[in-house]
Structure 1
Amino acid sequence: MYSIITGTIILSIIHALIPNHWLPLVAIARTERWSKSELFLISSVTATAHVMGTVILGTILGIIGSTLAHKYEDYIHIIAPVLMIAFGLVYFSIHRSYHADPVDDNVKVYRKSRKKVILFFVLMMFLSPCPEVQSLF
């Protein structure tokens, strides 16, 4: 039990240092001239959404995995690696196909709405579970 808690804490600290988790918030905060307290509050909300999205996905996958493990004991040693490879390929293809759209009028509209920017970050982090924590699941 202590090793799981220690591993979780270490992974959380290292994970928080990944620039794509905090750099967009810092860039927007500077551009929009948010105060440090506003940035801290918004970062806390987005971090909570990120953790909840990851935990929910992990719970769902854990339940499915447990059910499948009991149901298909003879085949699970083949099914599990195939599913892990499939999930990896899906994440890889999503990351690979991502491209930034050129700046247009839509950016100006979103820039004017602070609530939309915050909602975007919260949804983005909720819908972006971290594959780095798969070993803990």
Structure 2
Amino acid sequence: MAPSDLQTSLLVSLLVGGFVTAFLHAALPTHWLPFVLVGRAQRWNLGTTLASVTAAGLAHIAVTAVVGGLIVMAGLALDQWVTGLLPWLSAGLLFVLGLFYLARATVRKPLPAQGPELETPEQTVSQAAAFWGLVAVMAASPGEVLLPLYLSSAEEGLMVLGLLTLVLAVGTVLGMAVFTTLARAGASILRLERWARYEGAILGLALIGLGLLVVLHQH
């Protein structure tokens, strides 16, 4: 395989892996349960709820991209001192995060036999405050699991980093929208929490797989 073909194959693998990682990360209850509960409290229809999901998801990725950009700048500066360190640092971070999610999924306590009832509380804040409050919560927590992907693409240029950000945004917003919609439609919260439990193991394996791709690319 020609070097250019290998580079393209690695880039496609990283982008596909980034989409899958972002989608799976969005399955965590913190990425959809607040929208279900606040939407019920504010008596939002599905359109308004998904609008808040979209705005919050985009804010989440925007902040992640800013933090990722700073990490890329630091990584490139470090790479000038230790040639070839950047890919190995990226792979190492992917491995560590992957093992962390696998370990957390393994030791997590069993869920109770019955899931929590989703009552409809009384509306206590304005619609705008509820909407932008959700956006602020997501913006204040960049996706730490997505940051090593920026480091993996640091040497590919701004166009690739922009494409990666777009892929992560699509995967995150789509994942948040899917799980929020399922919960609103009456899917059992217990089942979704069980999915989130397995999501940790799947996410861990996906991150380790991405780390292996980076390592293999160095040989």
Aligned residues of 2:64 and 2:147 also touching (Cα < 8 A): no
Matched, 1:41 2:51: yes
Q: Look up the equivalent residue of 2:37 and give its one-letter code.
A: A
How far apart, in 1, do the equivalents of 2:22 and 2:144 lie? Answer: 13
Unaligned residue ranges in structure 1 (runs of 5+): 89-107
Q: Look up the equivalent residue of 2:45 and give its one-letter code.
A: S
- Aligned ranges 1:3-18 → 2 under 5 Å: 3-18=13-28
Q: 2:169 maps to what in 1?
A: none
Matched, 1:21 2:34: no
**How many residues are matched?**
108
Deviations 1:76-107 (A, max 9, x none): 79xx7xxx7xxx9xxxxxxxxxxxxxxxxxxx
Q: 2:64 maps to what in 1?
A: 54
Q: Shift in Å at residue 123 of structure 1? A: 1.6
Matched, 1:125 2:135: no
Q: 1:99 maps to what in 2?
A: none
Q: 1:101 maps to what in 2?
A: none
Q: Shift in Å at residue 58 of structure 1? A: 0.3
Please list every run of at least 4 consecutive aligned residues from structure 1 whose deviation after the TM superposition is greater than 6 angstroms. Answer: none
Matched, 1:135 2:142: no
Q: 1:2 maps to what in 2?
A: 12
Q: Shift in Å at residue 112 of structure 1? A: 2.5
How far apart, in 1, do the equivalents of 2:140 and 2:78 lie? Answer: 25
Q: 1:73 maps to what in 2?
A: 82
How far apart, in 1, do the equivalents of 2:51 and 2:44 lie? Answer: 11
Q: Look up the equivalent residue of 2:68 and give its one-letter code.
A: G
Q: Look up the equivalent residue of 1:41 and give its one-letter code.
A: A
Q: Look up the equivalent residue of 1:65 and give its one-letter code.
A: G
Task: Classify the secondary structure of the residue corresponding to 1:135.
Answer: helix
How far apart, in 2, do the equivalents of 1:122 and 1:23 lie? Answer: 14
Task: Classify the secondary structure of the residue corresponding to 2:149.
Answer: coil
Q: 1:102 maps to what in 2?
A: none
TM-score, normalisation: structure 1: 0.68
Q: 2:210 maps to what in 1?
A: none
Q: Shift in Å at residue 33 of structure 1? A: 0.7
Unaligned residue ranges in structure 2 (runs of 5+): 1-10, 98-121, 151-219
Q: Shift in Å at residue 73 of structure 1? A: 2.5
How far apart, in 2, do the equivalents of 1:116 and 1:18 lie? Answer: 24
Deviations 1:7-50 (A, max 9, x none): 01111221121111110111010111100010011111101101
Q: Identity percentage over the alignment?
A: 23
Q: Shift in Å at residue 128 of structure 1? A: 0.5
